[in-house]
């Protein structure tokens, strides 16, 4: 059996070495392996670092991705993959010593089309803000129903991160949508499930993910992730769940109630009630998450608020701006001539 590991990357000089160091030692046993590092025209030393690994280990190969974005890199890797099983991993993570073996084992045992594991979020820096961000993004209050971030048992789910796929998945359900800068894995997994495929998550499959180290980085990431929720719907016609739009509904409700209150005072009472309910939930979630992850509750609360608001504002802006962004129109869609 041949196993292909695809790692799309761009400007990952700081993380690519740790990622490869966690993967390469486990590629022993009865299978053949290849590691395709697909570089999106990095402007730092990412390609040079990969080249150094390739010189020492013939299983590592650098694949240029001139179009830069992740789904193009993923599809380039799939085009060149020789494997019967294909893992699509990320540079910002380090993988358990048995990650690949467990993926193959769960894939065989469950008969699923895609399998993945639960993420242990690691602070991007050992600072109060870094620890708080890791705590917030590991909490259901912070990330909703994203099972791969919050933990659980072995079960079928709607999506996994850094999954292991049967090779024919890409023939039966298609490849990654190259128009999606974000959510390309979620959208593909949605197509797989709609087509009758199965996606299984297992606690036996373990990895650590390095999250943003600063609040400004968290806000930028959350805004971009939120922006691409409506953009994904505009491009692909679906693929996301209601939970992806909860922050947008929250932000929109605050704005609407605030404006309506200027003309109809009961709206301000509704706004006050909504904020009071949010603050109560925020307090409970912050204290619990802080205790669980060894962080400061106040810093965790600040992370939650920035995560929710930045994500919600990004989604709201995406919903409003989407119809006016030509690149989001589906192929073949044109303006009606007068």
Residue 198, judged by CB atoms within 10 A of its CB (0-12, 13-18, 19+), counts as middle
Residue 273, judged by CB atoms within 10 A of its CB (0-12, 13-18, 19+), counts as exposed
Task: Report which of 271, 273, 248 is spatially closest to residue 144, judged by C-alpha positions.
Answer: 248
Asked if residues 114 and 159 have their Cβ atoms less than 8 Å apart, the reply is: no
CA angle 218, 220, 226 (to 5 degrees): 95
For residue 101, pLDDT beyond 70: yes
How far lies 268's CA from each of 136, 259, 272, 273, 305, in Å? 29, 9, 6, 9, 21
For residue 257, pLDDT beyond 70: yes
Residue 326, judged by CB atoms within 10 A of its CB (0-12, 13-18, 19+), counts as exposed
Residue 232, judged by CB atoms within 10 A of its CB (0-12, 13-18, 19+), counts as buried
- For residue 338, the model assigns a pLDDT of 34
Q: In angstroms, rounded to a whole number, what is the distance separating the alpha carbons of residues 175 and 6?
A: 14
| Domain architecture of the chain: domains with CATH | 2-213 (3.90.550.10), 234-326 (no CATH)
- For residue 334, the model assigns a pLDDT of 35
- For residue 333, the model assigns a pLDDT of 42
Backbone phi and psi for residue 295, each to the nearest 5 degrees, phi listed first: -115, 170
Band (pLDDT 50/70/90 cuts) for residue 328 is: confident
How far lies 287's CA from each of 121, 280, 302, in Å? 18, 11, 12
Q: Which residues contact 138 (CB under 8 A, 6 or more apart)?
A: 120, 121, 149, 150, 289, 292, 293
- For residue 335, the model assigns a pLDDT of 36
For residue 337, pLDDT beyond 60: no
**pLDDT, tens digit, 9 for 90 and up, residues 51-64:** 999 999 999 999 99
pTM of structure: 0.89
**pLDDT, tens digit, 9 for 90 and up, residues 170-218:** 999 999 999 999 999 999 999 999 999 999 999 999 999 888 999 999 9
Band (pLDDT 50/70/90 cuts) for residue 330 is: low
Instruction: Provide the phi-psi class of 183: left if phi over 0, else alpha when psi is between -120 and 50, else beta.
Output: left
Number of helices and strands in the chain (H, E): 13, 9
How far lies 336's CA from each of 107, 323, 332, in Å? 48, 14, 12
Residue 8, judged by CB atoms within 10 A of its CB (0-12, 13-18, 19+), counts as buried
Q: Which residues contact 213 (CB under 8 A, 6 or more apart)?
A: 123, 124, 125, 127, 129, 130, 133
Q: In angstroms, rounded to a whole number, what is the distance separating the alpha carbons of residues 314 and 223?
A: 4
Tokens coding 6: 């695809």
Q: In angstroms, rounded to a whole number, what is the distance separating the alpha carbons of residues 173 and 191?
A: 6
**pLDDT, tens digit, 9 for 90 and up, residues 122-133:** 888 899 999 999
Asked if residues 219 and 212 have their Cβ atoms less than 8 Å apart, the reply is: no
Tokens coding 331: 């192929």
């Amino acid at each position: 059996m041949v196993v292909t590991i695809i790692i799309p990357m761009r400007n990952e000089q700081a993380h690519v070495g740790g990622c490869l160091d966690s993967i390469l030692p486990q590629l022993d046993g009865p299978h053949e392996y290849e590691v395709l590092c697909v570089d999106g025209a990095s402007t730092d030393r990412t390609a040079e670092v990969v080249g150094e690994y390739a010189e020492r280990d013939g299983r590592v190969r650098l694949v240029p991705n001139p179009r830069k974005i992740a789904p193009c890199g993923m599809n380039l890797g799939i085009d060149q993959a020789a494997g019967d099983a294909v893992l699509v991993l990320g540079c910002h993570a380090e993988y358990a010593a048995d990650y690949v073996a467990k993926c193959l084992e769960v894939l065989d045992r469950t008969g699923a089309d895609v399998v993945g594991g639960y993420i242990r979020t690691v602070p991007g820096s050992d600072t109060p803000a870094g620890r708080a961000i890791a705590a917030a993004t590991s909490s259901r209050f912070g990330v909703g129903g994203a099972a791969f971030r919050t933990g659980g048992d072995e079960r079928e789910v709607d999506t996994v991160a850094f999954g292991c796929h049967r090779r024919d998945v890409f023939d039966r359900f298609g490849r990654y949508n190259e128009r999606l800068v974000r959510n390309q894995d979620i959208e593909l997994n949605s197509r797989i499930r709609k087509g009758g495929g199965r996606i299984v998550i297992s606690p036996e499959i373990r990895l650590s993910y390095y999250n943003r180290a600063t609040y400004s980085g968290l806000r930028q990431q959350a805004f971009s992730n939120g922006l691409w929720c409506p953009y994904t719907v505009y491009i692909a016609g679906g693929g996301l769940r209601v939970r992806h739009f909860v922050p947008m509904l929250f932000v929109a409700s605050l704005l609407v109630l605030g404006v309506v209150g200027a003309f109809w005072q009961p709206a301000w009472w509704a706004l006050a009630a909504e904020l009071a309910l949010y603050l109560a939930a925020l307090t409970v979630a912050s204290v619990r998450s802080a205790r669980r992850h060894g962080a400061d509750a106040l810093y965790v609360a600040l992370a939650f608020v920035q995560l929710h608001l930045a994500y919600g504002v990004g989604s709201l802006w995406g919903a409003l701006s989407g119809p006016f962004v030509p690149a989001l129109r589906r192929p073949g869609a044109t303006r009606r001539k007068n």
